[in-house]
A and B are shown apart, each in its own frame.
Chain A
Amino acid sequence: MSNELVTSRRGILGRLYHGETSFDFVGKRKIGFAISLILIVLTLGSLFSRSLNLGIDFKGGVAWQVPSSATMNVDAARAVLSDNGVPTENAKVQTLTNGTTSSIRIQVGDQTAEVRAKIQSDLATKAKVDVNEVSVSSVSSSWGRSITEKAVRALIAFMVLVGIYIAWRFEWRMALAAILAMLHDVLISVGVYSIIGFEVTPATVVAFLTILGFSLYDTIVVFDKVKDNIDKFGVSRTSMADITNVSMNQVLMRSLNTSLAAVLPVLSLLVLGSGVLGAIALREFAIALLVGLITGSYSSIYIASPLLSIFKQRETRYKNLKGIHATGAELAHMVITGGATGAKSIRRQNVDSDDSLVAAQSSPTSTALLTHPPRPRKKRRR
């Protein structure tokens, strides 16, 4: 990438810091689309072959959690199950280690209240702890179904409402692009859970839904910039690809900053909260949040904005500019100055001559860079 135009004096970090990068997001959109396509195919494949590892809250069942001890281990837990006439083949018994203590978690299908209470007290006896130390969670399968239905309904309602809002606040193309990007996030997050085999709990769903909000939030900040730039570049004949690229580069640092600011507390939850301090419940949140945050940040850069540029290119205003977009120095110039300032026309006359470009743009003064000249200073009354 040649950056002689305006910003050659800074390194990549410096350029990032000053918002002077000139990455050609739109030109490379096919790479992003290809990666996402592969991920989506993998997701669908995994969903059909092994589906999701749904927790008891979605399919119904009972789970006990008992502190493990010398007398309480996985085998002892299985023994308790079979003593109470619960088939152990489908039972999930795991040891959860959290720092200094560990506990045994047992999950089985639907049980009657009596069996549930009996196993709880048996586990307590075997582990030599008070019966109140055994945590139990039980969900009927019909309730599990209704939880799932409600979550799906909430998701659809959320998309519709947000779509309407974005269409009203910005425009329908942005709404469409944002929602497609969001669907992409859902699919890939679900895919990660399906492929790795993480258990899906209500906490996971909660986390996903939040992340969707967050991903949308991120997308909207980018789109807001795009909208700004559409107004700014309105008079000049600048292609949608350029506008998108310029906007993306201008908000890139913000996107990275925001993602980092969001990931830091989540990482702290994951590493410290569930790793060091050992709260299992936190881990469920943190993993889902992390997966969602990463796909969300990725999709607002590589999916939402390129999609928007594709949709916008169909507008008559941008139709005949299709296929033309600036890269490298020219892009950097537009990113920094926030205007096309004649670069377009020069480029069209003399496409392969970088020299003339540099000449035309050799010394932009600060006034030239303003979208409009600063108001003359008023005499201030003291």
Chain B
Amino acid sequence: MTRRLVISLVGLLVVVLGSFAGNLVANNKPSLGLDLQGGISVTQEPVGEYDSVSLDLAVERIRDRVDSLGVAEPEIIRQGDAIVVNLPGVDNQDEALRLVQVTGAVLLRPVLLAAPNTPADTSSTTVADGSSTTLTDTASTTTTDGSSTTTPVTTLETSTTAPGGPSRHIPQAATSVPVDASTTIPVAPTGAVSSDSTLATSITEAPLGAGSPTGSDVSTSSLAPATMGDPADPTATIIVQNTDGSEIYQLGPSFATGEVFNNDAKADIISGGWGVRVTLKGGSTGADLWNVGAAQCFAKSTICPTGRMAIVLDGVVQSAPNVNQPSFSGGVDITGSFKESEAKDLARVLKSGALPVRLEVQAVQIVSPTLGDDSLHAAVVSGLIGVLLVLLFMLVYYRLLAIVVVVGITLSGLVQWNVISLLSSTNGLALSLAGIAGIIVSIGVTVDSYVVFFEKLKDELKSGRTLKNSAERGFKSAWRTILAADIVSLIGAFTLWYLTVGSVRGFAFFLGLSTLCDIIIAWFFTRPAMLLLARTKRFQRGRIFGIDNTVNATGGAA
């Protein structure tokens, strides 16, 4: 029995101190929520009818765009259908607000001009000279036949954004054309299949001379969309990039949205390679709209001089296939040198475009860094003083036994610190003001387990049992009470966490965490510590709790 108690005590100490040391070595620290260090929180919720795929896609899009902001610990959470984006310590508020608002709408735009971009990694780190170049509007007047690599009308325009400046957002640098040879990807042969199919007609992801997005390793983009023109405005002429930033496009006003397609896009093997097959909605909202654009592009008219039609999602070209026939009926095949994953990505985009999610900003919270700092300071200082007061009270009331409370609360604090640090670095958990308040409240609950135990112990002592006996019996009955009461707290924490959003949720998490800590510490620390202490000679004698347990306390009553 004694051995098991010692093992439990030592085991807990080893685990807690070990993980504490581990966290220190790994430099894991609790990360602070934006209400403690300043930052922006935006809550968006989909309105109307939407597809769950498009909501997932919207979250991914937000994540990609937020990554480009260079915020240290962005937090993007799905809470039910709501999407909460927390950007602690963000500098450029306007930019951040704009970036997190994805539309989810897929626009079909004619490609006016396409040119290869600089190496894919054009994020702020690679911009050296501070001048970024963009394609200008003059290009729109030029008709290119789509086979040439040269687009001579491109002019340079120096951006005012300084590299590595406070705003981590820098417009993508588009190199002037003609292109750096190293970035040009050899032209992939276009295996267009167009005339033979009757139902499912096809268009081909046909790279122009300049460079092909399909030839390179396309992965989710880590780039911010290019900045010219408002991509959300369907009537604007815009300049945007493709997903990996290898190509830059000038696109005309859109002639249709992704809603011309049915919600059935899927990646498939089409004539020997991966492609995407999707069907058109019938009538004026589907095939008719699509065919207007297709006809223009097929004819390479001034509206669509390159003969390519870009599928644009939130200002990023997902694919820009050549249109190989003027009129489509029923289905559309998009083929090219897709990889399986690329085809699947494109299919997902089309699917979500068919039933786009409309996200509405529901709540915005901007906390200034100073305000956050003040709150943190105040919470930590007053929290620590609160704990000290409680410990002092315990010391006065329970005298020697308060040592157990002090060590227990310290251990409980360490366990929480460990868990929060670990989750901060792995799951992006951030300690919010509400969380700190939750922890402070839970001090009361933690102390209560000791009070319950000590009071039961007192009862047992008073009825004439020995200390050793009383400790065992006292813990047994206290454990039942502690467990019952803590389970109620856990039920509360879980219900809140599951059913609410925002700060309430953070609070619930930390409340649940500290309640769990309470249970663990009570069993693995308080129990062995008290039972072992109760056997020592020192405690057997002496007066603890002010009850003289050596003499029969209640004997001389009347």
Contact = CB atoms under 8 A, between A and B. Distances in A.
A343 interface: no
B381 A272 contact: yes
Contact of A267 (B386, B452, B485, B508): B386
A221 B469 CA distance: 22
Nearest to A101: B374
A365 to B, nearest CB: 7
B378 A273 contact: yes
B491 A162 contact: yes
Contacts of B375: 279, 281-282
Nearest to B387: A265
Nearest to A141: B362
A371 interface: yes
Given A210-B511, A258-B451, A154 B500 contact: yes
B455 interface: yes
B366 A19 contact: no
A217 B546 contact: no
A377 to B, nearest CB: 9
Question: Binding site of B, secondary structure by majority: helix, strand, loop or mixed?
Answer: helix
A331 to B, nearest CB: 15
B269 to A, nearest CB: 45
Interface residues of A, number: 100
Interface string A199-210: 000110111011
A362 B557 CA distance: 8
Interface string B119-133: 000000000000000
A65 B371 contact: yes
B440 interface: yes
A193 B475 CA distance: 40
B12 interface: no
A30 interface: no
B368 A214 contact: no
Interface in A140-175: 140, 142-143, 146-147, 150-151, 153-154, 157-158, 161-162, 165-166, 169-170
B488 A217 contact: yes
A254 B455 contact: yes
B46 interface: no
A285 B511 CA distance: 14
B382 A362 contact: no
A258 B478 CA distance: 14
B448 A18 contact: no
Contacts of A161: 491, 495
A306 interface: no
Interface in A1-50: 4-7, 17-19
A367 interface: yes
B389 A264 contact: yes
Contacts of B97: 113, 117
Interface in A92-113: 98, 101, 103, 113
A120 B448 CA distance: 46
B368 A338 contact: no
B382 A157 contact: no
B487 interface: yes
A221 B558 contact: no
Given A18-B462, A264-B389, A365-B555, A221 B485 contact: yes
A57 B434 CA distance: 15
A134 B369 CA distance: 9
B441 A57 contact: no
Nearest to A263: B444
Given A158-B491, A214-B441, A261 B390 contact: yes
A262 B382 contact: no
Interface in B463-494: 463-465, 469, 477, 480-481, 484-489, 491-493
B158 interface: no
Nearest to A211: B441
Contacts of B499: 150, 153-154, 157
A268 B366 contact: no
A57 B363 contact: yes
A261 B363 contact: no
B500 A224 contact: no
Nearest to A270: B382
A153 B385 CA distance: 35
Contact of B362 (A113, A142, A162): A142
A316 interface: no
Given A162-B492, A268-B383, A371-B463, A228 B477 contact: yes
Contact of A253 (B447, B455, B501): B455
Contacts of A189: none
Contact of B443 (A162, A166, A261): A261
B469 A265 contact: no
A142 B45 CA distance: 10
Among B485, B486, B492: residue with most chain A CB under 10 A: B492
B541 interface: no
A366 interface: yes
Q: Which of A101, A162, A268, A364 has the most CB of B within 10 A?
A: A268
Contacts of A220: 481, 484-485, 488
Contact of B440 (A6, A206, A266): A266
B314 interface: no
Contacts of A295: none
B489 A272 contact: no
A132 B95 CA distance: 13
Contact of A143 (B363, B382, B444): B363
B386 A132 contact: no
A165 B495 CA distance: 13
A135 interface: yes
A180 interface: no
Given A132-B368, A264-B389, A272-B382, A217 B554 contact: no
A251 B459 CA distance: 10
A162 B178 CA distance: 71
A73 interface: no
B425 to A, nearest CB: 26
Contacts of A154: 495-496, 498-500, 504
B141 interface: no
A157 B508 CA distance: 14
B382 A221 contact: no
A260 B398 CA distance: 14
A313 to B, nearest CB: 24
Contacts of A262: 441, 443-445, 447-448
Contact of B374 (A257, A279, A364): A279
Interface string A274-296: 10011101100100010000000
B377 interface: yes
A135 B368 contact: yes
Nearest to A217: B485
A370 interface: yes
B147 interface: no
Given A203-B503, A269-B382, 17 more contacts: A4-B558, A17-B546, A117-B94, A137-B365, A140-B361, A162-B488, A207-B437, A213-B492, A217-B448, A264-B393, A265-B440, A265-B441, A267-B386, A268-B386, A278-B374, A289-B437, A369-B554
Interface of A: 4-7, 17-19, 57, 65, 67, 98, 101, 103, 113, 116-117, 120, 131-140, 142-143, 146-147, 150-151, 153-154, 157-158, 161-162, 165-166, 169-170, 202-203, 205-207, 209-210, 212-214, 216-217, 220-221, 224, 228, 250-251, 253-254, 257-258, 260-269, 271-274, 277-279, 281-282, 285, 289, 336, 338, 358, 361-367, 369-371, 374
17 contacts: A117-B97, A133-B369, A134-B368, A142-B362, A157-B495, A158-B496, A206-B438, A209-B504, A210-B441, A213-B511, A217-B445, A224-B485, A261-B444, A261-B451, A268-B389, A272-B378, A282-B378
9 shortest interchain CB distances as A-B pairs: A262-B444, A265-B386, A143-B362, A273-B382, A268-B386, A279-B378, A277-B378, A366-B464, A213-B492
